[in-house]
Chains A and B, each alone.
Chain A
Amino acid sequence: MSTDNLPKKMDRRRLIKNGMQLTLGLSLVSIAGWSAFKSTSDRLVWQLDPFKCVQCGRCAKECVMTPSAVKCVHAFNLCGYCDLCGGYLKPDPNARTTAAENQLCPTAAIKRKYIEDPYFEYEIDEALCIGCAKCVAGCTSFGNGSLHLQVRHDRCKNCNECAIARVCPAEAFQRVPISSPYLIKGGFTKGKNG
């Protein structure tokens, strides 16, 4: 090979390189153009649909956070303020007291407050709740279903794919727009549907 055709070879190499750069550049531009149609400036966050949830208990275990970013919330409007609360007390309580061994919640995260005879208010201490859904199961099967789980966005890392969504047997998790990030039960008041 003589040295004088070297520059020509270099030229060819440069040509291929520039051509490839152009091709790749154009494909990036077309990806950008396509994504502009497909994208949303609204961000998506994870939320679970309480009506699909089957209270399997995975929310407590599978979240990347410990304790889980899923917590129990209380839709007070739906609550019957019962003394004998299916979410608060174990199915077979010794006595209707606040003693820990009578409580369904493993972390005693539900605060029971006397309002007036015979009504009690139940409020969740989210710092204690681990999202195990035991109370939700109790409330849903024996009560009004006012206790239910929600992803709490002050704790949730908003993982690209929610680790719970992947294993939720009920496919209750979905991406929702950041502008309406909760699916909190509501709409039932006294008299309706009673």
Chain B
Amino acid sequence: MRGLGKYLYQSESIVKLLKRFGFLLMMLFVTAQSFALDAQQRFPKPEFATGYAQPATTSPSPRFLLLEYLDIFVLLAALSVVTWFVLKKRSRKGVFWTSVFSLLYFGFYREGCICSIGAIQNMVLGVVDNTYKIPLTAFVFFLLPLVFSLFFGRTFCAGVCPLGAIQDIIVIKPIELPKWLQKVLGLIPYLYLGLAVLFVATKSEFIICRYDPFVGLFRFDAPFHMMMLGILFLATGLFVARPYCRFFCPYGVLLGWMSRFSSNHMTITPAACIQCKLCANSCPFGAINEPVVETGKRHSNVNRMITYFILLPLWTGIGGLAGSMVHVPLSHYNKTVYLAEQLIEHPELKDDQKNIDIRTFLTSGKTTTQLIAEADAIRHQFYIGGWLLGGFMGFVIGTGLIRLSAFRRRDDWETDKTNCLSCARCMEFCPVKRDEDGKITINER
């Protein structure tokens, strides 16, 4: 009986041990052979005569999982609050203080990670990598601002995004860029978005995270060049308001698509526009459209638009071709492709004792043929991706042209819903006011 009990006890503890170190044990079995060869227990652990107590190997825990859920809660709360300030209270002050809070919480306290912009990459990785499970936080951070945007416009940009907030509070003396320049620079986010997706889809890297210009400022710690980039963005941001948001942010593209068709987007005026033009220059981001009447002959305008429509596939095709042509240089940024290329072009590097990557590869047991086959497969992905990315850019440019030529009658001063960041600045300039009980007054000046 006692024997059985002991046996049970032992097997139970073995099960426990297995559970605890199951993974490690497995790994040890797998590596046991190679391990036995080069790093076996050369010097057995001694039996100590003096009652020596061996210290434990510590393993400090990561941030508590519940706190991750707190992040989700704070995101939802901040989004709700700022939307309420924009749409119901029409209060710039409220928006401002929400953005200060978000900057402190998501920026300086959470140190800029996780953020919605970077979460794009987790979503894409979830698509291309079957073994990857998207963390709940990443998924919610990706989706929630888009949902809000689809109904209320980009209130996320107004007061929740820490990257937006750090740029917004330093908008001191915004200058207006020429419209054409804004349009051209406005193409960069599409390219950035496309590249980010391409690099994740080929399992190369997360470029949005790597080149996040502000995360170093949030952490007071970054490589020198990234710190400089952050400072450069902020310095530019003194004059060109929120440059990252308008001319780089890949998530802004998605938010813009949603916001464009949003049903309850904020309006400059709470009632009817009285055409006073006071708001005309109030938007630091150039996101206010003036009234337009049709110029030129309607017939020729329509014709031009039809031509652009017909040309759309052509733009897409040209773009795709161009994209496919740059797939080789693009693929250099994948480390497998780069390594294979180095080995083919500079075989002498095999003897270079200092080249860590090649040394490691040579000792890894993988053959050069295997490596080249892998690199070829990845390069092929870049080829397909190049077509898609280029086609996408061509399509974006084509539709941009259609939109430019499409005539849209506009009677009042209105926000450009795609690019409006819902910051609520323009509302302050509008002399039409609505008070608590919904009464409309017009401030005469």
Taking Cβ atoms with an 8 Å cutoff, the residues of A that contact B are 1, 17-18, 20-21, 24-25, 28, 31-32, 35, 38-45, 49, 51, 54, 56-58, 64-66, 73-82, 115-116, 119, 121, 123, 140-141, 143-145, 150, 152-154, 156-161, 163, 166-167, 169-170, 175, 178, 180-194
Contact = CB atoms under 8 A, between A and B. Distances in A.
A145 B357 CA distance: 22
A115 B53 CA distance: 10
B21, B43, B138, B143 — most chain A CB neighbours (10 Å): B43
Contact of B60 (A79, A152, A187): A152
B40 interface: yes
B42 A35 contact: no
Nearest to A182: B59
B133 A38 contact: yes
B134 interface: yes
B65 to A, nearest CB: 6
A153 B68 CA distance: 15
B134 A80 contact: no
14 contacts: A24-B150, A28-B143, A38-B126, A65-B221, A76-B57, A78-B41, A115-B50, A154-B60, A160-B119, A160-B121, A181-B61, A185-B24, A187-B24, A191-B44
Contacts of A65: 219, 221
A65 B46 CA distance: 38
Interface residues on B, range: 35 or more
B122 A79 contact: no
Contact of A189 (B45, B55, B122): B45
Contacts of A32: 143
Contacts of B31: 51
Interface string B40-83: 11111111111010111111111101001000000000000000
A24 B261 contact: yes
B95 to A, nearest CB: 24
B46 A80 contact: yes
A35 B278 CA distance: 46
B171 to A, nearest CB: 28
Given A40-B134, A119-B48, A169-B361, A161 B42 contact: no
Given A44-B133, A169-B360, A187 B261 contact: no
Contacts of B61: 153-154, 181
Nearest to B60: A154
A115 B60 CA distance: 26
Given A51-B31, A154-B61, 10 more contacts: A38-B126, A39-B126, A51-B27, A56-B356, A74-B57, A78-B41, A153-B62, A158-B113, A160-B113, A161-B205
Contacts, number: 205
B97 interface: no
Given A160-B118, A184-B59, A24 B258 contact: yes
A160 B298 contact: no
B35 interface: yes
Nearest to A82: B43
B21 A116 contact: no
Contacts of B369: none
A123 to B, nearest CB: 6
B310 interface: no
A30 to B, nearest CB: 11
B118 A39 contact: no
B261 A21 contact: yes
B161 to A, nearest CB: 16
Contacts of B43: 80-82, 143-144
A161 B44 contact: no
Contact of B39 (A145, A161, A184, A192): A145
A38 B126 CA distance: 7
B113 A157 contact: yes
B399 interface: no
A160 B41 contact: no
Contact of A25 (B139, B150, B359): B150
Contact of A76 (B54, B133, B143): B54
A153 B60 CA distance: 6
